[in-house]
Structure 1
């Protein structure tokens, strides 16, 4: 921080009662700023859940600290409320409290009206991933196409506001292992102009749910007609596009093709989850009534695989990348239904969600990189980076680096990004070592185009007898 005294910052925190905002990232970052004497206040929390609910506060001590210190007003979104009505209430709250920053951490299908309102008013906006998602995009082509339209409208509004700040706190943009991977890719490209040519990103989420749990309306749930692509996948899509932009070579466009999609209804119809389900049910502390899942839940994507052809200006293929995600994989889950989850009092953490992936990349004949991870969510993550170069370009054999406690021990964390963004909005200058890890809206164009195109393909697969085989995406 610079030595000048920053002005007081009032925060509107949308989705402030969720686990990520209240327990893991945004509120802890704000409390840390307070401890260092930075004048910041959470002036309002916008969330369907009451931030003053004693049960909720009993599970979220950081949230309890904020409501005790700042006494934020509760702005409660109304079921079925029109965008105009919501904007009027936001405008009234803005008149009362003068928001200096809007942090959006609610369900992704609700992001757009908050982001558009903040951007139109020139208020700095920090938004969790994915920036834009739309209900029923997994099966309705018109809704899937709306993802790109809304993003383009948001980007246009952002560019119309001089010096408007808009960023996304993406953990892997700052993680030491992913940062090093990008440096190695850029080094070979800068010296030899060698693009990426082959690669795969294979992610196993292992996010096991009992059938009735698909009807629970938690953040990133399936009740809005979108599924796993709207969850952690955005991180890996962002990394894929970041590597392409670090080493574009002759690549001018991408051809995306959907190779496989498995929806919630497809999965449940097979009975594949019966074995673990049978083991879990006797351990349940509460029972949820059996429910008939709606079509929008049954049609939400659960597993999928895409190929990305790397094209030059003559539409010749320079190589191919693949991205696959599966929930139908190993799960570490060991408990049944949790009462707190059924009451929507706490984000449900113990579904045995896994964080397992293999990222395998080749830059022609010159370099091979491999990033691997095999953990259950909540463990101290370990990431392994293997690296090999051709001896003619400085290779000395296979090099291996292991990053223990890989997320929390990184030089820059999402909390650092949230804190830095607030200080930037106040006109201060955070350390470049943090700001160069921040994903700003203008740098998310390719990532979001690929994300939107993937939903267009998934929706087309359900809608058409002969689904669209591929979508072309231009490099920016």
Structure 2
């Protein structure tokens, strides 16, 4: 007979953000409570007041949680010394005894919470990217901190037997991306054919009025980092996962920055003046139009990398290209909003698109293509195309379309949050969920790529070298 599950007391960091409060963590916690799991949010750490009626008017799930759980509010102060934040967290821990921490705040603020919680043996669920650093887009020292802090966090985690550290990555659990990985691995297991070439092109498709770059929160530019710390991490993770599924003789990557365009470069083009003039008459509010700080102007917006696939003697076995562009088609039709000007809710990129192409080749034997062309926030489809050589069982061009691809996926991020809480409580969640959950020790290659990209972007700002390069080892 199984033991009863233990109660779980949660510290929710960044609980007033759109992702945590509306889309994932809070709805998952409420559902777990309805299903009998004794989980309670005992404290929310956020600079916004989680009891603010103006905030709760936009976030019904959070309003329900605040009414039921009545969590304490911990407010991090601007520029608060880390030692003081840790002292206040320790005081709250003595009072409330946290079993788990869910970190969903701005990525540049993740590290102090993660390091403190791990040192206390508190189980961690952390949104991507795990570690970021302010001004990493232009300051090489800050960019280098990303890998240093990740490596230290990984060591601390591994030194805590039984410590859980999970990362809810939606594409890791998405049926289309899983199927693509299975096709890669199946061919590799049968014919030992590694990945030899690929192209990943992401069109983020968001448009901001120039003064909106001064708005912060998780998708803001106010901390000297930009688009690489947004959804881009998801696609880097899939690139790393696919490489590790079919590595062959690949032991490292020669990563080269081919180009980067920063906020200042984008604004200097004037290419979006037409949309600017169309949107301003539709604005509900006016935002301050002071000059943007240098750290905002230097944040990366568009970028492109090549990753040569290297054997132990650093001979080239193939190449992957990774390209991300924010300044692409956007169907935004609203101007500045009142709740943005009041900072009532986190800034949301209106009309943001989610368009991408994944091309993957395993030599002459298999070609896979994943494509999507939709607007964020609407039901959308992912198309997976496969060609496999006829002499090894291929049947020509095969295509699957995953309609409403996120909502219809068998596992979603709320399932991952629920599974994490079940594990903290001492239960055994369904293996089909935990098999699709990313854990800290499985993020090594993804984070090496992510941190190396920032090191190259920062180097580009200071160096006369047009295309800086660094070697990234496979774990």
TM-score by shorter chain over 0.5: yes
After TM superposition, list the pairs within 5 Å mapping 1:179-198 onto structure 2: 179-198=178-197
Name the counterpart of 1:346.
Answer: 345
Residue 152 of structure 2 corresponds to residue 153 of structure 1: yes
TM-score by length of 2: 0.99
Q: Are the aligned partners of 1:368 and 1:387 in contact in 2 as well (CA < 8 Å)?
A: yes
Q: Are the aligned partners of 1:6 and 1:426 in contact in 2 as well (CA < 8 Å)?
A: yes
Name the counterpart of 2:7.
Answer: 8
Name the counterpart of 1:366.
Answer: 365
Q: Are the aligned partners of 2:359 and 2:370 in contact in 1 as well (CA < 8 Å)?
A: yes
Name the counterpart of 2:268.
Answer: 269
Instruction: Tell me how far 1:469 sits from its aligned partner.
Output: 2.2
Distance 2:262 2:364 in 1: 38
Instruction: Tell me how far 1:290 sits from its aligned partner.
Output: 1.2
Instruction: Tell me how far 1:289 sits from its aligned partner.
Output: 2.4
After TM superposition, list the pairs within 5 Å mapping 1:379-394 onto structure 2: 379-394=378-393
Instruction: Tell me how far 1:328 sits from its aligned partner.
Output: 1.1
Cα 1:387/1:147, change in 2 over 3 Å: same
Runs of 4+ off more than 3 Å: none
Residue 305 of structure 2 corresponds to residue 303 of structure 1: no
Instruction: Tell me how far 1:311 sits from its aligned partner.
Output: 0.4
Instruction: Tell me how far 1:468 sits from its aligned partner.
Output: 6.5
Q: Are the aligned partners of 1:33 and 1:419 in contact in 2 as well (CA < 8 Å)?
A: yes
Residue 434 of structure 2 corresponds to residue 435 of structure 1: yes
Q: Are the aligned partners of 1:185 and 1:246 in contact in 2 as well (CA < 8 Å)?
A: yes
After TM superposition, list the pairs within 5 Å mapping 1:32-431 onto structure 2: 32-431=31-430
Q: Are the aligned partners of 2:423 and 2:429 in contact in 1 as well (CA < 8 Å)?
A: yes
Cα 1:322/1:468, change in 2 over 3 Å: closer
Deviations 1:397-422 (A, max 9, x none): 11000000100110000000000001
Larger mean CA deviation between 433-442 and 218-227 belongs to 218-227
Distance 1:304 1:241 in 2: 18
Distance 1:218 1:339 in 2: 16
Name the counterpart of 2:465.
Answer: 466
Q: Are the aligned partners of 1:170 and 1:438 in contact in 2 as well (CA < 8 Å)?
A: yes
Q: Are the aligned partners of 1:218 and 1:344 in contact in 2 as well (CA < 8 Å)?
A: no
Deviations 1:309-356 (A, max 9, x none): 000111111100001000111001000001101111112335211000
TM-score by length of 1: 0.99
Distance 2:72 2:445 in 1: 37
Instruction: Tell me how far 1:425 sits from its aligned partner.
Output: 1.1
Deviations 1:60-103 (A, max 9, x none): 00000111000000000011111110001000100111100000
Instruction: Tell me how far 1:217 sits from its aligned partner.
Output: 1.3
Q: Are the aligned partners of 1:155 and 1:442 in contact in 2 as well (CA < 8 Å)?
A: yes
Instruction: Tell me how far 1:4 sits from its aligned partner.
Output: 3.6
Q: Are the aligned partners of 2:216 and 2:347 in contact in 1 as well (CA < 8 Å)?
A: no
Q: Are the aligned partners of 2:40 and 2:69 in contact in 1 as well (CA < 8 Å)?
A: yes
Instruction: Tell me how far 1:3 sits from its aligned partner.
Output: 5.2
- Give unpaired runs (5+ residues) of structure 1: none
Distance 1:119 1:349 in 2: 31
Instruction: Tell me how far 1:467 sits from its aligned partner.
Output: 5.5
Instruction: Tell me how far 1:472 sits from its aligned partner.
Output: 0.4
Distance 1:349 1:53 in 2: 19
Distance 2:347 2:214 in 1: 13
Q: Are the aligned partners of 1:361 and 1:368 in contact in 2 as well (CA < 8 Å)?
A: yes
Deviations 1:278-307 (A, max 9, x none): 110010011112120010000000000000
Q: Are the aligned partners of 2:174 and 2:406 in contact in 1 as well (CA < 8 Å)?
A: yes
Q: Are the aligned partners of 1:198 and 1:363 in contact in 2 as well (CA < 8 Å)?
A: yes
Deviations 1:157-199 (A, max 9, x none): 1011112100100000000000000000000011111110111
Distance 1:394 1:425 in 2: 45
Larger mean CA deviation between 347-356 and 282-291 belongs to 347-356
Distance 1:370 1:426 in 2: 40
- Give unpaired runs (5+ residues) of structure 2: none
Distance 1:192 1:144 in 2: 40
Distance 2:267 2:150 in 1: 33
Give 3-state SS (helix, strand or coil) of 1:59's partner: coil
Deviations 1:220-254 (A, max 9, x none): 21000000000000000000000000000110111
Distance 1:195 1:225 in 2: 37
Instruction: Tell me how far 1:5 sits from its aligned partner.
Output: 2.0
Deviations 1:428-456 (A, max 9, x none): 10000000000000000000000000000
